[in-house]
């Protein structure tokens, strides 16, 4: 699969959080998150392993009981079923990969 850069197809799952699936295969799915200053990603868990990379901005990422002051160039891996969340300190961009594929993040077929 190859996907060209586009400003289309973002969703807004929560206030201040925009999400777009970039590409996916049989076992992984890559997303881009545009995170607005002062937004909050509530604590949650899911059965997917999640690896990420902060491209720009500043977030405080909670993985389990530990908070990480995260700046561009930092990366993480969140095991499946571990509670995590984030507080967005400044406008940020993160790239994350999920395995197995998050079916709820698969693009809807265009009609």
Range of the domain at 23: 12-102
Q: Mean pLDDT over all residues of the chain?
A: 95
Q: 54-108 pLDDT, tens per residue?
A: 999 999 999 999 999 999 999 999 999 999 999 999 999 999 999 999 999 998 8
The answer as to whether 4 is a domain residue is no
Query: Contact at 8 Å (CB) between 70 and 54?
Result: yes
* Per-residue pLDDT at 110: 46
Q: Does residue 27 form part of some domain?
A: yes
The pTM score is: 0.92
Number of domains in the chain: 1
In a domain, 17, yes or no: yes
Is residue 103 classed as helix, strand or coil in its secondary structure? helix
């Amino acid at each position: 699969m190859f996907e060209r850069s586009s400003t289309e197809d973002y969703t807004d799952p929560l206030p201040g959080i925009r999400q777009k699936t970039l590409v996916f295969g049989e076992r992984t799915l890559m997303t881009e998150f545009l995170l607005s200053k002062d937004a909050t990603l509530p604590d949650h868990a899911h059965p997917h392993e999640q690896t990420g990379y902060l491209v720009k901005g500043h977030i405080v990422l909670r993985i389990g009981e530990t908070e990480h002051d995260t700046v561009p160039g930092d990366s993480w891996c969140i095991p499946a079923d571990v509670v995590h969340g984030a507080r967005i300190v400044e406008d940020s961009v993160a790239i994350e990969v999920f395995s197995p594929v998050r079916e709820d993040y698969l693009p809807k077929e265009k009609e």
